[in-house]
Structure 1
């Protein structure tokens, strides 16, 4: 009787053992179910993305570089003494710049406001993308976008500007491919030469930092841009139509200029926070008379000698 009593476990120990056994069993099956659901979800996501990008070609570095450098530059006609006769008729002003032509304040301003981690990421900013998704889901007033400079080049040069899921998926994968095949400097230069800057003082649509400096501040040499002007130009591409100081007729748009200045102040603040400028430079840039430095309104270049320009265009068409 004693022996039998000693072999019996107390009731609470039996309950604990059974509970522990059931708990381990439950955890094991929950883990298996979770793993299966994860694999199923990953497979579904892979299939969905594959369907979105199935029509997008795989581009070589040579193809991408050729397309990035292929641009219809603005054409000018000159007299023998190098005096400008006029500009060939177009509503766009596109001018290419080399990276060595672009001063450090311009590069610092662009990176500070557009993609501060440009030289660290691999084409996609995961944190920025997640932040943008959350802001969109919550319908927040301030939405930061999340696209890197590489993604912006991919979208503007190779893809469309629509907001479909297929375009976004192609953009992300193409940006990652660009980062593998191209240098950071090549990508940054493509951005600075391709991005739109709104209208200039002649009413032309400006494309590229060189055309923007000329059309907005009448500056040909980019090294002549000061910090205030560099920050102003860096802020415009986010919404060129909203921040364009000039109308399509070359007239100053006061309301848009005011918005552009507010954007410029944000760029300067970011530059200060990132150590690109010091407090004195920051204050001097804030005090700079931006409006006084705007280019004066000019007639479109082909309007000075219209008949001569028409004849030149006819001859050019025959060539």
Structure 2
């Protein structure tokens, strides 16, 4: 039984790898300049979808954002983010093997692709390059772009771009905030360098579900415990 299970696993990986390669070959290959422009682009629109990936509309989000420079990102903040979102960030090449296996299983079983387990690089790709659709093709495209970005940009560049693009919920005026600099100011009234460990850890976890974890309501008032 063990041998059969191992054989099945290798067969699954082989099938998934071949299928993924076919999808990747259909993707346009972006230049380094195009990648750099896109990962640092401030999004001014968002596309909404029904559960079945049917498009609802494209809207312009009401967001406030300020980009942080590399010198503003303290080791405390960087460590809090990588510990919370991607503990292997400085080791992997943009994609973890388990992500491919999970995507293949999703395609074979018909169960939607889960977002858990994505690397920071993949999350950056989702925010800056792709839609919020949860399809096998989009997942493979996401992994392709993540690998491409890791080949041409340093880990520090990738982490900075992620921190400047991530959504952090709402500030004390009820505005949607994007970027860790805006989050530090809008939630705690501090600069990034003034954040202590609990504050940095709190902000680091917000992008997982900003609308749920944000401490402020639509009117800017604090949520009740």
Fold conserved between structures, TM > 0.5: yes
Output the CA distance in 1 between the equivalents of 2:21 and 2:104. Answer: 21
Aligned residue in 2 for 1:67: 38
What's the counterpart of residue 110 of structure 1? 81
Structure with greater proportional helix content: 1
Compare relative contact order (CA 8 Å, sep 6+) and give the higher one, 1 or 2. 2
Matching residue of 2:217: 247
Deviations 1:104-159 (A, max 9, x none): 11111101011111111111122466579889x8x9xxx88110001101111111
Alignment partner of 1:189 is 2:150: no
1:145 aligned to 112, 116, 123, which one?
116
Look up the match of 2:3. none
Aligned to 1:156: 127
> Aligned partners of 2:181 and 2:29: how far apart in 1?
31
What's the counterpart of residue 142 of structure 2? 171
Cα distance in 2, alignment partners of residues 96 and 66 from structure 1: 14
TM-score where L is the length of structure 2: 0.77
Closer/same/farther in 2, CA of residues 133 and 214 from structure 1, 3 Å limit: farther
Matched, 1:231 2:201: yes
Aligned to 2:47: none
Aligned-pair CA distance for 1:252 = 1.1
**Equivalent residue pairs, number:** 196
- Deviation sequence 1:233-285 (CA, Å, 0-9, x none): 01111111110111121011225xxxxxxxxxxxxxxxxxxxxxxxxxxxxxx
Structure-2 change in CA distance of 1:47 and 1:108 (3 Å):
closer
> Structure 2 unaligned runs (5+)?
1-6, 45-60
- Which whole-Å CA distance do the structure 1 matches of 2:123 and 2:33 have between them? 19
- Is the counterpart of residue 218 in structure 1 residue 189 in structure 2? yes
Cα offset, 1:185, TM superposition:
0.8
**Counterparts of 1:63 and 1:210, CA distance in 2:** 25
What are the ranges of 5 or more consecutive residues in structure 1 without an aligned counterpart?
A: 1-33, 74-89, 256-319
* RMSD over equivalenced CA pairs, Å: 3.0
SS at structure 2 position matched to 1:245: coil
Matches within 5 A, 1:169-318: 169-219=140-190, 221-255=191-225
- 1:206-242, CA deviations, whole angstroms, 9 ceiling, x for partnerless residues? 10000001111111x2111111111110111111111
Per the TM alignment, residue 70 of structure 1 is displaced from its structure 2 partner at its CA by 2.7
CA contact (8 A) 2:16 2:104 kept: no
- CA deviations on 1:256-315 (whole Å, 9 max, x unpaired) are xxxxxxxxxxxxxxxxxxxxxxxxxxxxxxxxxxxxxxxxxxxxxxxxxxxxxxxxxxxx
Deviation of 1:95 after TM superposition, in Å, equals 0.5
Residue 92 of structure 1 is matched in structure 2 by 63
Secondary structure, counterpart of 1:198 in structure 2: strand
The TM-score, its normalising length taken from structure 1, stands at 0.55
